[in-house]
Amino acid sequence: MAGGLAVSVEGIRWGISPIGWRNDDMPELGAEHSLGHVLSDMAVAGFEGTEVGGFFPEPEVLRRELELRGLDVAGQWFSSYLLQDGFERVDAAFRRHCARLAALRADVAVVSEQTHSVQGLKLGVFDHKPKFTADEWDTLVNGLNRLGATAKEYGLMLVYHPHLGTGIQTRDEIDTLMRRTDPETVHLLYDTGHLFASDEDVLTVLALHGARIRHVHFKDVRRDVLAACRKKHHPFLKCVLDGIFTVPGDGCIDFVQVFRKLHDFGYQGWIVIEAEQDPARAHPLEYALRAKRYVDELVKGLCDRS
């Protein structure tokens, strides 16, 4: 294997998302990459696991393909519409989602509230993010607490994903969400790329909410592209196509500090490389290999320190 771990940090598992090969929000991107191709690239690059992409088959088929390559599943994204559809409808869909994840022996269900989201719309993501009303906050908090209890029934942790262009994006919104939700059932997904592109302060969120983090997305940001996207009022998916995100070590986020602080918090669980780019411009295996080399250096640096 090209990227076997020389050293490791106990309790931390490294994964990579299929989003660098194929993007569920833009199915035309990388459609030529078969499941076998994507999973084999992940294994060749030296990763232990992945998240489930929308193009992945049902668990019975997927499990064999994963096992053949020694890969595990960390979790999968779930778009909740609690404000728009109400708890009962969302919970029914979430139960089906959790059952599939449990069949894959996954650890987390990634939830993001998409009511009023501009994530997939042709509206400037930096100008049109929604803001929830007081009533909407009540509904969201109550619904997430209950969905978190559902996740537990399936042996999973609900990890909430703050995201550009949604009602939970900024540091203030994350603070409120963490203060108002039940720490036993609602956990935090720490996605460095979205936090940086929103508020540019990834370490403060980590310092404030490190104890709630149960899942991590390592996504780097190209500072010049971020500035250009803001200036041109680009929609989210146009920002992705222009290359706002990349693998850790290739952008401007200080992952040495991030990784140290996560470790100081005693973080245990998955760290998933999630660098959505146009695969025609950023060769997915090349970037996966770069990412793995970089995180191996991070791990080595941490081990040398202690």
Footprint of ligand LX7YND4F on this chain (CB under 6 A)?
24-25, 77, 161, 191, 194, 217, 274, 276
Q: Which helix (H) or strand (E) holds 188?
A: strand 186-191
Q: Which does 41 bind (CB under 5 to 8 A by kind): ligand LX7YND4F, Co ion, none?
A: none
Q: Which does 77 bind (CB under 5 to 8 A by kind): ligand LX7YND4F, Co ion, none?
A: ligand LX7YND4F
Of 113 and 191, nearer to Co ion (C-beta) is 191
Q: Which does 91 bind (CB under 5 to 8 A by kind): Co ion, ligand LX7YND4F, none?
A: none
Q: How far is the CB of 15 from ligand LX7YND4F (least distance, A)?
A: 12
Answer for which of 41, 48, 173, 191 binds Co ion (CB under 5 A) is 191
Would you tell me the crossing angle of helices 255-264 and 284-305 to the nearest 10 degrees? Answer: 50
Of 3 and 165, nearer to ligand LX7YND4F (C-beta) is 165
Half-sphere exposure of 229 (CA within 13 A, CB side): 25
Judged by CB under 5 A, does residue 209 bind Co ion? no
DSSP single-letter state for residue 212: G
Q: Which does 234 bind (CB under 5 to 8 A by kind): Co ion, ligand LX7YND4F, none?
A: none
Contacts 24+ apart (CB under 8 A), 254-259: 254/202, 254/203, 255/192, 255/218, 255/220, 255/294, 255/298, 256/298, 256/301, 257/203, 258/192, 258/202, 258/203, 258/206, 258/218, 259/298, 259/302
Question: β-pairing, 186-191 with 213-218?
Answer: parallel
Tell me the torsion sign for CA atoms 207, 211, 212, 213.
Answer: positive
Judged by CB under 5 A, does residue 100 bind Co ion? no
Q: Which does 214 bind (CB under 5 to 8 A by kind): Co ion, ligand LX7YND4F, none?
A: none
Q: Which does 173 bind (CB under 5 to 8 A by kind): ligand LX7YND4F, Co ion, none?
A: none
Q: Which helix (H) or strand (E) holds 286?
A: helix 284-305
Residue 13, Cβ neighbours under 10 Å: how many?
A: 17
Q: How far is the CB of 68 from ligand LX7YND4F (least distance, A)?
A: 25
Of 245 and 267, nearer to ligand LX7YND4F (C-beta) is 245
Of 161 and 290, nearer to ligand LX7YND4F (C-beta) is 161
Q: How far is the CB of 161 from ligand LX7YND4F (least distance, A)?
A: 5
In single-letter form, the type of residue at position 70 comes to G
Beta carbons within 8 Å of 93's beta carbon, 6+ residues apart = 78
